[in-house]
Structure 1
Amino acid sequence: MNAATQAQDLAQPATNAGHFDVLIVGAGISGVGSAYHMKTQCPTKSYVVLECKESFGGTWHTHRYPGVRSDSDLYTFGYRFKPWMGKPIATAEEILSYMGEVIEENDLGQHIRYRHQITGAAWSTADNQWTVSATRLDTGERLRFTTNFLWMCQGYYNHDQGYLPEWPGMQDYQGQLIHAQTWPEDLKVEGKRVVVIGSGATAATVVPGLARLGAQVTMLQRSPTFFVSGRNSNDLANELRRLEIDPMWIHTIIRKKVLMDGAIFDRRSREEPDRVRNELLAGVRAQLGDDFPIEPHFTPRYRPWQQRVAFIPDGDMFEEIRKGNATVVTDEIDHFTADGIALKSGETLQADIVVAATGFRLSVLGEIPFSIDGQPLDFAQSVTYRGMMFTGVPNMAWVFGYFRASWTLRTDMVADFVCRLLNHMDEVGAQRVVPRLRPQEQDMPLGNWIEGDNFNPGYLMRDLHLLPKSGNTREWQHTQDYWGEKDEFPAIDLRDEVFDYNFRKP
């Protein structure tokens, strides 16, 4: 939707849906957490959460493939304010139950409006507010909200459509081709030959899930992923529970322990990548046995943590490979045939079903058309302030979590900052805040949102040009450094000249 179309959309008859101090976009893990912080840290402010789906959960609501589970431990992926009581790696159902408890226990449901599809957001400097247009998907009614502050919590990828490469001959394939992200509920796989294209966390979940349902599964990968396997249990947490320690204490202790272990692993991956690589491969060899060809199937070309290291709880994928229920093929697709996939090596994989576990389509701020005073807003022309605000964009924050640590860690930290900012604006009488480069930073070298040498999964590299730019100092970057940011965020000086405020007239 271009600026003219958006202006036309805003001019269409619509029901006034009310004015709110804060409008939160999305009722996934970020939106629900941010709503909690609004209630507890800004109790006098009005807020609404708009969600286009029929229920909360985001990823955990939309992803329905067999075995769908977290790829981060729930002691850190869970919220800091609500103890996690289950196994470290949780199923989608368990995560949804946890989120549902947060909503019920804090009476957040009254603030969430489901099936509300946002169609545009326009900022007016004259009014110091955003006008957000939306459509109720169940009735088709057009609505218009106004808000002082937009809190973007919709995630970073398109929930309705995954990334599906165009391979030659796809139209010739007579079997069923599906993307893992849009799994058909009635798909029958027992006794079927299933090829899963991909090698990341989704593939590592789908493969054992399908094998347990009776499919004969082949994981077809162009290049391998690093895997680490372990028991889906936390002995320290179990012992503390046996001692009847307060659940909140247990949650805090285990959270810090997991985070510290992760930070050590991250540091070692950068400082001694060869040693870490050998340790990871030794772990795979221990799971599969010395006779299994680790090369080329489990020897990635990149160093550890340039892409996510996928955790295999209880070694379930390796177990299915050992049993012969799943196999791994490392090759490239030449073309699809009527009954399978022809590989560049000359081998052909016959398949009744092909599952593309080929990643996400990046979605920058929900692909919502934004404008400021009638001019279309291109976020790629802005510079990010700490990965959560953007130069030239008033009264807006975005939750974009960590790649190497749990997403939700940043949800909590950004929420603390936003609530502190909102309360500060009330205290000083400010209606508007816009991040701006300081005078000495006007000629600062700019780069990509994140450098490819740091983290380079395909979904990010494909659409990196759509994301805001970064600068050459930590303030103007999404650093991926939880241990630094956990101390830096609370210390942000809201009176710094980075924050350009517009004050109410006396």
Structure 2
Amino acid sequence: MTLQRDVDVLIVGAGLSGINMAYRIQEACPELTYAIVERRDRIGGTWDLFRYPGVRSDSDFFTLAFPFRPWRGKDAIVDGDQILEYLEDTAREAGIDRHIAFGRRVDSADWSSVDARWSVEASGPDGPETWSARFVVTCTGYYDYDSPYDPGFAGVEDFDGTLVHPQFWPEGLDHSGKRVVVIGSGATAVTIVPAMAETAEHVTMLQRTPSYLLAQPKGDPIADVVRKIAPPTVAHHVVRTKNMLLQWALFQACQRAPKAMRSLLLKGVAHGTGSAEIAEQHFNPPYDPWDQRLCVTPQGDIFAAIKAGRASVTTARIDRFVPEGVRLEDGTVLPADIVVTATGLSIKILGGAKVSVDGEPRDPAESFAYHGTMLTGLPNLAFCVGYINLSWTMRSDLTSRLVARVLRRLVDSGASSVVPEFTGSGPTTPLMDMQSGYLQRGAHLMPRATDAYPWSFRQNFLVDSWSTNRADLDDGLVWTAPDRAEARA
């Protein structure tokens, strides 16, 4: 591919969000040139990074898939390799793959008010590169690919076994017949435990604080019926809408009737594991449902592994690692040949790129987020993050369509730049305001939000979509015409 390093739009990241963004931009603004720079050597982002056993979607794929390309697979909960294949097929069919430059990490970006363009510095396979773009969109998610959260366990160097983090899973790791301890209780741990338990001697999930778990069928019988009577695109939208409403209703029920939902979730665990004692002791968090992300277990696979004795759960605090395994604060030692530290993520905004305006550094944490898409003080720049309580793509597509609208207006109006200007008031919160550990640890890095649009990010698809899709592009955005830019220069 011949690289064009001077483009109208530069997209950073070729995962779910990047492919989504490219599709919406070329759909709404076919006359614009664009490129995608991707630090890895393959499309997929998160789904190419994670290689741990059992890696899969934590949301049904009818809502995680793009609304413009129907999911035709059999299952609703989909394995990681199927997601990668879907993304690659989507990029190829839409011609997006021809615009991707792999092996490029964006290090910094500087906006020139005189030129009304971004100068983006990247590390490429042959050394430093400079990309020039009228508009930049970062589709890098919100966590650090290089440095996951490290709790700093004492004695790690004393452990005689194999220590693994899910973010850096070693190729060819054989856990057959081994004793495995998985530290953590989030979606990653809940996925790894039943997958490793299939061949391991035993797998122990060691958690400090429990999570809520919900068993969900891997397939979707209603989808099977709808697909038989409706064309693929219609069927996909019907099932996607149905599943979105169910997810939204579950979240609202947890928020409005937490005691009743706690009881229902615990009954589900007791039924799956065959033990009300296990449910009460190990799956009964001290917080309300959906104060942190609720984990899905397809077909109740982790419950089945526990019931069969192939896996177990220990809720306790770690004292230190010892040669034979992990010692708890009460002195108990959990023997292990392999320890998996599924201890969480670290937040990284804009992929860690340093941004500046006319050479002056800008901190995203000091900005306000316009519809969760653009940042005050940063002209012609957008970012894309997904939902925490719903499928990622449901939010990223809202963002992609809003960016496409902004670009369309830039083209049609002849404006040279657009930048959010904060018009809100009242108390502010981090952009993603939930009690999950990684979000609390990274709250100081996030842009700010309020409880009123266009500065709100509510984790509520129905409300967000109504507001975002109908956003007044003169409310909170300042547009600069070329003559004004020249006069200022």
Identify the TM-score tier after normalising by the shorter chain: over 0.9
Kept in 1: contact 2:61–2:71 (CA 8 A): yes
Q: Do structure 1's residue 205 and structure 2's residue 202 form an aligned pair?
A: no
- Please list the CA deviations of residues 272-320 of structure 1 after superposition, one character each: whole Å capped at 9, or x if unmatched: 1000010000011111113652222110111001111111111111111
Kept in 1: contact 2:453–2:467 (CA 8 A): no
Give the alignment partner of residue 371 of structure 2, picking from 372, 377, 386. 386
Query: Which residue in 2 is equivalent to 1:259?
Result: 244
Query: Which residue in 2 is equivalent to 1:175?
Result: 161
Q: Do structure 1's residue 130 and structure 2's residue 118 form an aligned pair?
A: yes
- Please list the CA deviations of residues 109-168 of structure 1 after superposition, one character each: whole Å capped at 9, or x if unmatched: 11000001112111111111100011213x3x2211100101110111112332121012
Q: Distance in 1 between matches of 2:80 and 2:153?
A: 31
Q: Distance in 1 between matches of 2:401 and 2:409?
A: 12
Query: Which residue in 1 is equivalent to 2:445?
Result: 466
Letter of the 2:373 partner, please give it: M
Q: Do structure 1's residue 330 and structure 2's residue 308 form an aligned pair?
A: no
1:82 is displaced (CA, Å) by 0.7
Query: Which residue in 1 is equivalent to 2:66?
Result: 79
Query: Which residue in 2 is equivalent to 1:10?
Result: none
Query: Which residue in 2 is equivalent to 1:51?
Result: 38
- Please list the CA deviations of residues 159-199 of structure 1 after superposition, one character each: whole Å capped at 9, or x if unmatched: 23321210121221121111111100121111111100001
Q: Distance in 2 between matches of 1:321 and 1:202?
A: 17
Letter of the 1:493 partner, please give it: D
Kept in 1: contact 2:37–2:101 (CA 8 A): yes
Give TM-score, length-normalised by structure 2: 0.96
Query: Which residue in 2 is equivalent to 1:64?
Result: 51
1:383 is displaced (CA, Å) by 1.2
Q: Distance in 1 between matches of 2:277 and 2:258?
A: 23
1:444 is displaced (CA, Å) by 4.1
Q: Distance in 2 between matches of 1:159 and 1:16?
A: 25
Query: Which residue in 1 is equivalent to 2:418?
Result: 433
Q: Distance in 2 between matches of 1:483 and 1:265?
A: 14
**Correspondence 1:232-251 to 2 at 5 A:** 232-243=218-229, 245-251=230-236
Q: Distance in 2 between matches of 1:16 and 1:56?
A: 17
Query: Which residue in 1 is equivalent to 2:487?
Result: none
Kept in 1: contact 2:9–2:135 (CA 8 A): yes
- Please list the CA deviations of residues 19-65 of structure 1 after superposition, one character each: whole Å capped at 9, or x if unmatched: 11100000000001111112211111000000000001011101000
Q: Do structure 1's residue 418 and structure 2's residue 403 form an aligned pair?
A: yes
Kept in 2: contact 1:16–1:144 (CA 8 A): no
| Matched residue SS, 2:249 | helix
1:18 is displaced (CA, Å) by 2.4
Q: Distance in 1 between matches of 2:250 and 2:451?
A: 25
Gaps of 5+ in 1: 1-14
- Distance change (3 Å), C-alpha of 1:143 and 1:294: same
**Correspondence 1:363-378 to 2 at 5 A:** 363-378=348-363
Give the alignment partner of residue 213 of structure 2, picking from 203, 227, 251. 227
1:436 is displaced (CA, Å) by 0.3
1:378 is displaced (CA, Å) by 0.7
Aligned residues: 482
**Correspondence 1:266-415 to 2 at 5 A:** 266-290=251-275, 292-415=277-400
Query: Which residue in 1 is equivalent to 2:468?
Result: 489
- Please list the CA deviations of residues 352-405 of structure 1 after superposition, one character each: whole Å capped at 9, or x if unmatched: 111001111111111111111111111111111121111111001111111111
Q: Distance in 2 between matches of 1:446 and 1:249?
A: 40
- Distance change (3 Å), C-alpha of 1:324 and 1:238: same
Structure 1 runs of 4+ aligned residues shifted over 6 Å read: none
C-alpha root-mean-square deviation of aligned residues, in Å? 1.5
Letter of the 1:489 partner, please give it: T
Q: Distance in 2 between matches of 1:194 and 1:79?
A: 37
Q: Distance in 2 between matches of 1:290 and 1:216?
A: 19
Q: Distance in 2 between matches of 1:48 and 1:213?
A: 44
Query: Which residue in 2 is equivalent to 1:449?
Result: 431
Query: Which residue in 1 is equivalent to 2:97?
Result: 109
Kept in 1: contact 2:372–2:399 (CA 8 A): no
Q: Distance in 2 between matches of 1:448 and 1:55?
A: 32
- Distance change (3 Å), C-alpha of 1:29 and 1:200: same
Kept in 1: contact 2:319–2:329 (CA 8 A): yes
1:215 is displaced (CA, Å) by 4.1
1:489 is displaced (CA, Å) by 1.3
Q: Distance in 2 between matches of 1:394 and 1:151?
A: 11
Q: Distance in 2 between matches of 1:118 and 1:36?
A: 21
Query: Which residue in 1 is equivalent to 2:480?
Result: 502
Kept in 2: contact 1:162–1:182 (CA 8 A): no
Gaps of 5+ in 2: 485-489
- Please list the CA deviations of residues 194-226 of structure 1 after superposition, one character each: whole Å capped at 9, or x if unmatched: 100001110011001111133421000001110
Kept in 1: contact 2:166–2:342 (CA 8 A): yes
- Work out the percentage of aligned pairs sharing the same amino acid: 38
Q: Distance in 2 between matches of 1:318 and 1:490?
A: 41
1:231 is displaced (CA, Å) by 1.7
Letter of the 1:400 partner, please give it: V
Kept in 1: contact 2:179–2:200 (CA 8 A): no
Letter of the 2:146 partner, please give it: D
